[in-house]
Amino acid sequence: MKALKNIFIGFLVSFIGSIPLGYLNLIGFEIYVKLGFNSLFLFLAGVIFVELFVIYLSLLFAKQLVSNKKLMKIIDFCAIFFLLILAYSFFASANQPIEQQGIVEKYATYSPFLIGVFLSAINFLQVPFWTGWNLYLMNGNYISIVNKDKVYYIAGTLVGTFMGMLGLILILNTLAQNTSSFSMYVIPVVIPFFFVVLAVVQIVKVYRKHYRNKTEL
């Protein structure tokens, strides 16, 4: 019973968390459009390979990570700069001459699995996400991490991430095929703008988390 509960909760949290548009979903969408389903499958496998270690370590050290305010502050700031760099990369690539390579084409010689591993490894946002969720679930006794119980929880989270990202990417591809304006504006306009919005949201979070109390004193 504990095993099924851990799998279900892990799947639910991960599936819902992976659905909102993020840079991994958008890059996965571009990989699917330009390189096909097999490459997308390998890309997603690379993403959840890294997530496996992130979730496992955050289960073990959730309380220590949350209490380390200096480390969490560094992670929060790195996320801001990373999102802005991604916004510029997509914008610059979309505005290059047609004969020049885009973001995906530049890395097409590498395995999509390795691309997924690399991009997931530098996804700073997943550290506070999983640390916060795991701490909440453990403190509320929603999951058990005794012995093999943590294995079932992690397995549920990995399947949830894979299915959530795959579903969203396929939906985006359907929109792109059925709506000409979507294909025309999504990469040069929508994706860069979305990353900028994410960066602004992250800046607000950093201010509220690290500076608002100080200014009110």
H/E stretch holding 106 reads: helix 103-106
Rg (CA), the chain: 18
Assigned token pair, 216: 């009110």
Tell me the average pLDDT of the chain: 77
Whole-angstrom CA distances from 6 to 103, 143, 154 are 38, 6, 8
* DSSP code for 146: S
pTM higher than the cut 0.85: no
Report pLDDT digits (tens) over 132-166: 778 778 877 788 878 788 889 999 999 999 999 99
The percentage of residues in the chain with a pLDDT greater than 90, rounded to a whole number, is 16
- The yes-or-no verdict on residue 97 having pLDDT over 50 is no
* Total domains in the fold of the chain: 1
Domain hosting 95: range is 2-216
